């Protein structure tokens, strides 16, 4: 650190441990309200701070980046995904960008398994029946769902989270198949089956779990064509990014019986989600809480601060993207 402490702006309400460490080491500006910072607020603060620790809710579009003040040196994101940042525009401005990989893989993988089981075993319907005191009968045909044990699990994007999901699925004796930009080395791949193209994976996925980033190439990756390639009564799980799924196509696939169910933790519009999903009891939904554990929130905050510490010591941040 330099003798004069850098000024850091934290845009959202982070964990108490993260804030305590930030206040200890930086001249920290905290927002009184836990709401997304507007473009104008981001531009305003960029003139008076050296660093910003934002979340995925703060949008650094090319227009915003071009208007940032010259004082701002680094954006240390409290997220893995950086599709809210125009990296090319930030690189041109010489602003360093970091993220927080590794630390949220376990928590997000847990949510993927929860979504899979909740969708397969009709958790929404079952909870509603008991909660509304409508459980007044039983028969062998009552609340019959789909078993996942022994089924084929397809994973799109075998990065950190995808690899943890594969390990957890092994506990259900699931046969793991995956599609990735490149094949994993044998130690990481284990017994998983690699598919060089997506279509091949889809044909072999009773459950399909999405774990790839949102890019122009993956936008609406799951659409009418790709959903139709899954085996009938397949289950779709998405705890990556809402942009990966064409939501109208998903509803069509569910209504037609092509898909048995879906488990979703992310949506095209956030916050809020898709109101048309509410009528479908075979969609198990959560409000984008994949990494929302106390342990992970501390780890994410500390990882962002580690990157800031390195930068202001004149070192390369571990998670430097640009």
Q: State how far the Cα of 77 lies from the Cα of 150, in Å rounded to an integer.
A: 39
| 288 labelled catalytic | yes
Q: Choosing from 40, 196, 270, 315, which is the catalytic residue? A: 270
Q: Choosing from 241, 247, 297, 303, which is the catalytic residue? A: 241
* Element housing 153 (H / E): strand 152-156
How would you class 187 by CB atoms within 10 Å of its CB: exposed for 0-12, middle for 13-18, buried for 19 or more?
exposed
> Which residues lie across from 160 on neighbouring strands?
none
Is the bond into 271 cis (omega within 30 degrees of 0)? yes
Residue 52 contacts residue 75 (beta carbons within 8 Å): yes
Whole-angstrom CA distances from 106 to 11, 62, 88, 164 are 25, 33, 30, 7
| 168 labelled catalytic | no
| 195 labelled catalytic | no
Contacts of 268 (CB under 8 A, 6+ apart): 242, 243, 245, 247, 274
Q: Which two tokens stand for residue 133?
A: 């005191």
Residue 274 contacts residue 285 (beta carbons within 8 Å): no
Q: Choosing from 56, 160, 288, 303, which is the catalytic residue? A: 288
How would you class 85 by CB atoms within 10 Å of its CB: exposed for 0-12, middle for 13-18, buried for 19 or more?
buried
Active site residues: 241, 270, 288
């Amino acid at each position: 650190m330099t003798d004069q402490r850098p000024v850091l702006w934290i845009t959202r309400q982070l964990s108490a441990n993260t804030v305590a460490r930030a206040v200890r080491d930086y001249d920290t500006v905290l927002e009184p309200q836990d709401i997304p910072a507007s473009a104008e607020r981001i531009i305003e603060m960029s003139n008076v701070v050296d660093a910003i620790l934002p979340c995925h809710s703060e949008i650094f579009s090319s227009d915003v980046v071009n208007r940032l003040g010259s004082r701002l040196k680094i954006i240390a994101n409290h997220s893995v995904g950086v599709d809210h940042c125009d990296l090319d525009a930030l690189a041109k401005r010489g602003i360093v960008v970091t993220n927080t990989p590794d630390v949220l893989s376990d928590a997000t993988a847990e949510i993927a398994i929860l979504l899979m089981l909740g969708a397969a075993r009709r958790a929404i319907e079952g909870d509603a029946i008991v909660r509304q005191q409508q459980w007044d009968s039983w028969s062998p045909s009552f609340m019959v769902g789909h078993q996942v044990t022994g089924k084929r699990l397809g994973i799109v994007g075998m990065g950190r989270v995808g690899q943890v999901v594969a390990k957890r699925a092994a506990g259900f004796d699931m046969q793991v198949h995956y599609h990735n930009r490149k094949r994993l080395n044998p130690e990481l791949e284990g017994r998983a089956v690699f598919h060089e193209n997506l279509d091949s994976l889809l044909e072999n996925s009773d459950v399909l779990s999405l774990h790839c980033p949102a890019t122009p190439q993956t936008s609406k990756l799951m659409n009418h064509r790709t959903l139709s390639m899954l085996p009938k009564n397949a289950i779709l799980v998405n705890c990556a990014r809402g942009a990966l799924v064409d939501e109208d196509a998903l509803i069509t696939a569910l209504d037609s019986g092509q898909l048995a169910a879906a488990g979703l933790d992310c949506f095209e519009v956030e916050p809020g989600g898709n109101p048309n999903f509410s009528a479908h009891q075979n969609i198990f939904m959560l409000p984008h809480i994949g990494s929302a554990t106390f342990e992970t929130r501390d780890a994410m905050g500390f990882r962002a601060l580690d990157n800031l510490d390195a930068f202001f010591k004149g070192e390369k941040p571990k998670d430097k993207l640009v």
